[in-house]
Structure 1
Amino acid sequence: MNIQKGIDRGKLDEKVIHMPWFVQQFIDYKLPDLSPSTLLEYIRDYEQFFGWLRAEGLSQAESNKDVTLQELEVLHMESIVSYRLHLGTRTQGTNSRVTVSRKLSSLRSLFHYLSQIAEDENFYPLLKRNIMAKVEVKRIHKPKDTAAKLKGKILEDHELNEFVAYIHEHYRQDIENNKQALYAFEMNRERDACIASLILNSGLRVSEVVNLNVDDLDLANKMLYVYRKGNNEETFKTPVYFREQARDDLMEYMNLRTPRYRTPKREKALFIALPNGATEGKRMTKRAIQAMIIKYAKRFGKPYLTVHKLRHSFATDYYLQNDIYKTKEQLGHASTETTEIYAHLTDKTMSEAIERRVDS
């Protein structure tokens, strides 16, 4: 089990005990097929739904754990419509259409299990009436729509190296009057540039970067062994290749990994952080990497950049030189449907390139 998966499994175990028994049963049923991360999202969705039921007086339970099957069985369509409106229009933390669709899909999965799969001791369904079967969950994620949202919010091909160079050298000029920020930058410059370079030259996800160990790195063959999910949600290690520039940046960072971060021999993580006051380095967290990229992106003049948009930037550039199937394999997509995003993005890129040629 990889690092992030282990963390998610621990959180899942902590949260599921506060759910009704039938939700616990559903999670056990799904555990062999879905990742702990996915199931953790399910639990969070159920926490929100059960909390709303109680707040609206549709459940008399004192806690989420006490919500009953009978209370779910007698829900009216009007209540589900109200919940959908609540998700989409509540004043604080309003959910996007994609998020609302996902939360409703989580409920459909639970209700389907209770009404079609799970049985009581007399072989009858646990839930005899499934209100969620009447709810149509529209598919929101269309590659063309996603591509449209990404337009202008990823790095162009000439900016990939520029962003890494900015972290490596030019960020210093923007913070030279801030001694604390300058000290942190000098401490982490090579590491931070290396992480950005690796994502922009391989398309790794942030969770994949966090989970990397030193033993996963094969500099000679420009390759990393990365945990990825297969079609049945089972994780396995697979080789992912990176470009030459990333190798140069990795070599520079590796020379500093142990002495600069006081990394103990028992620490296997590739990317290390040394917190203030700590005597030895430890594995960087997902949140730290995300915050680091955002920090540099703002100063670079691209405040919308995130770790995931760096992955999109690589993918768009990679797709221009390869077909959709190679791009799918490089990125670890489950299907080419997801990879179609870059077909739409590169169509626009090629169109604009033609216009620039005409103008010149």
Structure 2
Amino acid sequence: MNQIRIKDRKELELRLPYLPWYVQQFIRHKLPDLSPSTLLEYTRDYEMFLHWMIREQLTGGTAICDVTLAELEQLHIDKIDLFRAYLTTGKENAKVTIARKLSSLRSLFHYLSQIAEDEQFFPLLKRNVLAKIEIRRTNQPKDTANRLDGKLLQEEEIAEFIHYIQHEYAADVQGNKQALYSHKLNKVRDTCIVSLILHSGLRVSEVMNLDCTDIDLSRKMVHVLRKGSKEDHHKTSVYFRQEAKPFLTEYLESRESLYCAPRKEKALFLTLPNGKQEGKRMTKRAIQEMVIKYAKRFGKPYLRVHMLRHSFATDYYLQNDLYKTQEQLGHASPETTQIYAHLTDRTMSRAIDHRRRDEPLE
């Protein structure tokens, strides 16, 4: 089981005892089908909803574990509308987040009314108010493309960003001794990570969970546990471009000496915390913050680690088809990959405008 799943599974087990018994039953029912990370998000959504019921005095209980099935049955549709309105007041709740929270609630209510049974074989929930709620799809590929347009690395900028991390960042932080020391220690690793994402389209979680044994330099391939995979030990082979190979080779040659890697540590990408004698696996947050640090100095403060994946995907889609791009990125649905069709339409449109003036039309 990868590091993120281990962490999320532990947190899930800690949260479950505080939820009503029927929610616990639903989570256990879904464990074989959904990842601990997804189920952890479900529990957070249910906690928010049940706390809201207490504040609105829609339950006689004082703790969320006391909310009964009968109280769920008595909810009117206008109360669900009030909850939806409540969600819109949260600054962190974008439309897509609100839709996801309502969708997770609907999954719970569907299970209680259509799947789970009591001892007399009757549904646990006799009336499902969430079945009356329409949840509009808000995250259309075209909308996502609109948000990303102009914020990704284009063509030569991919190589320029990698070169900047390796050769130019130090000059920009010349007066900062701590930043210079950190860069001297980590520039081979950081260049390798950014290059790998920009030449393979890996997710940050996939990069974080890589072990040394997952790298096949001769075949230009890494073995990753894909998002949504139901098998903890089944890894997918993902190719990377030739451009990433020299950086991986250099990092692998220096990994042990730079980070005092203990023999038992399998993680590919390591960090050496202050005061520690041995390196340990980099966290997802550390990789994210590393990319932000370089992006700001590079003059693209809006660039995030996931946008490196999008940058690769847009460039890859220009040279391949939808289904090859879907497979490379590990998308469950081709609809998600349609983002890059919209983005490349814009890229090609701009390319036409940059045609040399003396170039004849055929």
Given the alignment, which residue of 105, 130, 133 partners 1:132? 130
Paired amino acid for 1:254: L
Q: TM-score, structure 1 length as denominator?
A: 0.97
Percent of paired sites with the same residue: 61
Deviation (angstroms), 1:62: 1.9
Residues 33 and 234 of structure 1 are in contact (CA less than 8 Å); yes or no, is this contact kept in structure 2? no
TM-score (norm 2): 0.96
- Asked whether 1:214 is paired with 2:222, we answer no
Partner of 2:276: 278
Q: Offset of 1:289 from its aligned partner?
A: 0.4
2:235 match: secondary structure: strand
List aligned pairs for 1:28-39, cutoff 5 A.
28-39=28-39
Within 5 Å, give how 1:266-305 maps onto structure 2.
266-305=264-303
Q: In structure 1, the residue corresponding to 2:61 is in which secondary structure?
A: coil
CA distance in 1, matches of 2:310, 2:260: 34
Structure 2 equivalent of residue 100 of structure 1: 98
Which runs of 4 or more aligned residues in structure 1 lie more than 2 Å from their structure 2 counterparts after TM superposition?
Answer: 232-236
Structure 1 match to 2:259: 261
- Give the counterpart letter for 1:267 in structure 2: E
For residue 268 of structure 2, give the secondary structure of its aligned residue in structure 1: coil
Match of 1:196 in 2: 194
CA separation in 2, counterparts of 1:283 and 1:218?
Answer: 20
Q: CA deviation at 1:187?
A: 0.8
Query: 2:142 corresponds to which residue?
Result: 144
Question: Unaligned regions of 5+ residues in structure 1, if any?
Answer: none
* CA distance in structure 1 between the aligned counterparts of 2:315 and 2:192, rounded to whole angstroms: 19
Note if contact 1:98-1:141 (Cα within 8 Å) is conserved in structure 2: yes
| Partner Cα separation in structure 2 for residue 154 and residue 274 of structure 1 | 30
Deviation for aligned residue 1:234: 3.9
Q: Match of 2:326?
A: 328
Matching residue of 2:65: 65
1:159 — aligned with what? 157
Partner amino acid for 1:47? E
Deviation (angstroms), 1:124: 1.0
CA apart distance, 1:359: 5.4
* Residue 358 of structure 1, CA deviation: 5.8
Equivalent in the alignment of 2:226: 228
- Deviation at residue 153 of structure 1 after TM alignment: 1.0
After superposition, the CA RMSD in angstroms is: 1.3
Letter in 2 for 1:115: S
Q: In the alignment, what sits opposite 1:248? A: 246
Offset, 1:252 = 1.0
- Which secondary structure does the structure 1 equivalent of 2:224 belong to? strand
Matched with 2:46 is 46
Give me the whole-angstrom Cα distance separating, in 2, the residues matched to 1:66 and 1:292.
Answer: 44
**Equivalent-residue separation in structure 2 for 1:11 and 1:94 (angstroms):** 22
Q: Deviations over 1:209-259 (max 9, x none)?
A: 0110000001111110111156x7445201101111211001111111101
Rounded Cα–Cα distance in structure 1 between residues aligned with 2:143 and 2:227: 25
Supply the distance in 1 between the matched residues of 2:16 and 2:161 (Cα, whole angstroms): 42
User: How far off its partner does 1:89 sit?
Assistant: 2.0
- My pick for the range that moved more, 281-290 or 67-76, is 67-76
Distance 1:227 1:60 in 2: 45
> Which runs of structure 2 are paired with 1:13-32 in the superposition (5 Å)?
13-32=13-32
- Residue in 2 that maps onto 1:179: 177
* In 2, Cα distance between equivalents of 1:36 and 1:188: 32
Where do 1:109-128 residues align within 5 Å? 109-128=107-126
- Cα drift, residue 314 of structure 1: 0.3
Q: Distance in 2 between matches of 1:336 and 1:166?
A: 34
Query: AA paired with 1:141?
Result: N
Length, aligned pairs only? 357
Supply the AA of the counterpart residue of 1:27: I
- Once the two structures are TM-superposed, the CA of residue 273 in structure 1 deviates from its matched residue by 0.3
Paired AA for residue 49 in structure 1:
F
Give the residue type in structure 2 aligned to 1:95: N
Amino acid at match of 2:69: L
* Offset from partner CA, 1:20-48 (integer Å, 9 cap, x none): 10000001111111111111110111111
52-61 vs 143-152, which moves further? 52-61
Unaligned runs of 5+ in 2: none
Alpha-carbon deviation of 1:52? 0.9
CA distance in 1, matches of 2:19, 2:160: 49
Match of 2:6? 6
Q: CA deviation at 1:3?
A: 2.2
1:160 corresponds to which letter in structure 2?
I
Moved more, 234-243 or 29-38: 234-243
Residue type at the aligned position of 2:242: E
Mean alpha-carbon deviation: is it higher for 350-359 or for 200-209? 350-359
